[in-house]
Amino acid sequence: MPVLVKENGTEEMALQLGRFISDSNWVKDNYPDLIDKYTEQYIAVLDKKVIAYVPTMEKVLDNIDEMGIDPNLVILKFLTREEISFLL
């Protein structure tokens, strides 16, 4: 349960952060099932539900926009079985 802070209008921000953390944990906890169902797809998760899944980031963002959802409130994740390396 998120902490509610009522100072300076930050209550909504605290709720959004709590939802984001909860959704992130849900993706982590359900990753094996998600990758079996949505391999090589971008998924969008909100309120512990996959609300969109498509093969490109552009399309998943378009889907979220069409639903009228702020993309800043959604967990976006590309699901792949391949190991991804980043060069810094």
| Each residue's pLDDT tens digit, 47-83 | 999 999 999 999 999 999 999 999 989 999 999 988 7
Q: Give the chain's domain count.
A: 1
Please indicate, yes or no, if residue 2 is contained in any of the structural domains. Answer: no
Rama region for 32: left / alpha / beta (φ>0; ψ in -120 to 50; rest): alpha
Structural domain span for residue 58:
7-79
Please indicate, yes or no, if residue 85 is contained in any of the structural domains. Answer: no
Please indicate, yes or no, if residue 37 is contained in any of the structural domains. Answer: yes
The band of 35, judged by pLDDT with boundaries at 50, 70 and 90, is very high
The percentage of residues in the chain with a pLDDT greater than 70, rounded to a whole number, is 86
Mean per-residue pLDDT, 15-30 = 93
Please indicate, yes or no, if residue 54 is contained in any of the structural domains. Answer: yes
Mean per-residue pLDDT, 17-36 = 94
Please indicate, yes or no, if residue 52 is contained in any of the structural domains. Answer: yes
- Nearest CA to 35 out of 85, 87, 77 is that of 77
pTM above threshold 0.85: no
